[in-house]
Amino acid sequence: MPSPEIRPPLPPFTRETAIQKVRQAEDGWNSRDPARVALVYSPDTRWRNRSEFLSGREEVRAFLARKWAKELDYRLIKELWAFEGNRIAVRFAYEWHDDSGNWFRSYGNENWEFGEDGLMKRRHASINDLPIKESERKFHWPLGRRPDDHPRLSELGL
């Protein structure tokens, strides 16, 4: 049975609505609020994140809580790569540090599939971590939503 929840924009996506969906995802993840972020995924969502396979919204919420307890001062930028129908591909980079103060920039690609209700049914992510010096950081906005005037990945040469 489809979820009574609706998360516009809905598929099929146009370039404009795909970009809007990507920014909504970026904003949600930059909130670092596992309960809020998990609500954009269908109750029966299926994920592959690195080598972890998740099933269902509750597993996603628990995963995100673990992630943001480890990845401190997390700041993310997502950028549309491609879209068609109910699918969107994005590339992303995020910066974070561990509890020892070691900084990283994590790069990756995600493939998303949405239901008619606009909830994400599938997410496949491939991610690599690059150790960086704090002086090499590029994401300096206050924690939370990336300001509209902050450069995107392409503008940063990432």
Write out pLDDT tens, residues 87-139.
999 999 999 999 999 999 999 999 999 999 999 999 999 999 999 999 999 99
Per-residue pLDDT, 37: 98
Per-residue pLDDT, 1: 42
Q: Three-state SS across the chain?
A: CCCCCCCCCCCCCCHHHHHHHHHHHHHHHHHCCHHHHHCCEEEEEEEEECCEEEECHHHHHHHHHHHHHHCEEEEEEEEEEEEECCEEEEEEEEEEECCCCCEEEEEEEEEEEECCCCCEEEEEEEEEEEEECHHHCCCCCCCCCCCCCCCCHHHHCC
Per-residue pLDDT, 62: 98
Write out pLDDT tens, residues 36-94.
999 999 999 999 999 999 999 999 999 999 999 999 999 999 999 999 999 999 999 99
What number is the average pLDDT over the span 136-154?
97
Fold of 15-139+147-156: Nuclear Transport Factor 2; Chain: A, (3.10.450)
Per-residue pLDDT, 4: 67
